[in-house]
Structure 1
Amino acid sequence: MKYMIMLYGSQQDYDVLSGKPGDQQPWRDEDVAAMHAFMEKWNNDLVESGSSSTRRACPLPSTPGGSSCATAFPW
């Protein structure tokens, strides 16, 4: 079975993770570290199982051209 996992974050989401003040409470460093550990383990599990065929990171929304990113998959 082939599937695609798409993760999306707005600039406001990135700001919350980096501790910038805004509408939402900034994340604590421990919470950001826990999220990164979870995502790294999830990614490693997919790679080790052979389920991960393509990974591509898109630029942050705050960078020029970073608001969208398209990738053509072979399936």
Structure 2
Amino acid sequence: MIPRRKQTMTKTQQADLDQILAEDLTRFTDLRKRLGDLPTTIASLQKRSKRRSTRTERPLFPEISCYCAPGC
């Protein structure tokens, strides 16, 4: 087995890698926060949906009694 030579990074390559890792960490943290808020968001949407379904529906145009065809 031939031993491989250890490869080293230049300062520029290391800086680029650090920048990429920092961006990935920020994205991951933001995603975790948004996923953490998901149950609250779902509960809020369910409440809003229930409130809307209990309201009486008003016609969009009250002067029109039938929407099936013009002049009906």
Question: Structure 2 length as normaliser, TM-score?
Answer: 0.33
Tell which has more relative contact order, 1 or 2 (C-alpha 8 A, sep 6+). Answer: 1
More helix by proportion, 1 or 2? 2
